Amino acid sequence: MSSTVLYVVVALICVAIPFLLHHINKNARHPLDINLRQLFSQNLSYFITIYAFILGFSMITLWGIYQNAETTVTKEAEVALNMYRLSPGLPNSGHFRDLLKEYVKIVKDDEWKEMEKGTFHPKIDSINDSLWAELNAIKPKAPENFSTYNNLIIMLADMGERRMERLLLLDGSLYTQMWALIYIGGFLSLFGFFFTSTGQAKVQFISDFMMICMIVFTIYLIYELDQPFSGNLHIEPKAFNIVYEKMMHIGVQFPK
């Protein structure tokens, strides 16, 4: 579903629910008189305040995780490029650089599509194993190459950790219990609006519309932020695209 269609659907939900409440309030016999409804409205405001805090806390937390995910992706690609630039300091490291280039290409072309489905590309694990095997095979004997070799080991481990952090976000960051609280709180809020009818249909509709729009769009934003690599608000593989282009550009300068 395209982003435009999805936004239209969310907007229609925001309009449809107040109309439905308006229709129910117009035709239903309220169990509470006007004075009790006003008292209920005051109590509902406390509930809405607590629910708003839960939504705000979830959104701020996920926004921080989303930004960290962008940083993780950038760092993973940057580490791969730095290893590509550093590896010519070791003899017979051409195959190691070819594997790095293949790693970046598969991540940006194939694994990103898999992550949109909530999975990962298994070939990356094979390439990662090959990178370690190749790094062990080109272990230098000359002391002047030890520093470069040790740095490559640290950087390769760091790249693996970054990828693991990226994959752990595929299942979302909010626990099921938190999602249950968000959805139940939203349902109870809508249920409470039925008991807050003041008899002023237009004023009530506008008030319900404002509240429902905020609730629906906030839940939608929370859902999008909880899936940083899928949905309409997802992280793009821009860093890997840039790194791959740089590898192709500077690769011709390195010896095999």
Mean pLDDT, each 10-residue run in order, the chain (256 residues): 65 74 62 57 76 91 94 96 92 91 95 89 91 92 90 96 92 88 86 66 73 85 90 90 92 58
Q: How many CB atoms lie under 10 A from the CB of residue 76?
A: 24
3-class DSSP assignment, residue 235: coil
Q: How far apart are CA 139 and CA 93, in angstroms?
A: 10
Phi, psi values for residue 140, rounded to 5°: -75, 155
Q: How far apart are CA 112 and CA 224, in angstroms?
A: 17
Q: How far apart are CA 101 and CA 91, in angstroms?
A: 18
- Asked whether 64 and 144 are in contact (CB, 8 A), the reply is no
Is the dihedral angle over the CA atoms 247, 252, 254, 255 positive or is it negative?
positive
In the structure, how many helices (H) and strands (E) does the chain have?
9, 0
- Position 200 scores a pLDDT of 65
Full-prediction pTM beyond 0.85?
no
- Position 12 scores a pLDDT of 77
Q: Which single residue is written with the structure tokens 């008991």?
A: 195
Q: Where are the domains of the chain?
A: 3-253
- Asked whether 195 and 204 are in contact (CB, 8 A), the reply is no
- Position 194 scores a pLDDT of 66
- Position 165 scores a pLDDT of 93
Burial 175-213, CB ≥16 within 10 A → b, else e: eeebbebbeebbeebbebbbbbbeeeeeebeebbbebbb
Q: Which single residue is written with the structure tokens 């449809």?
A: 16
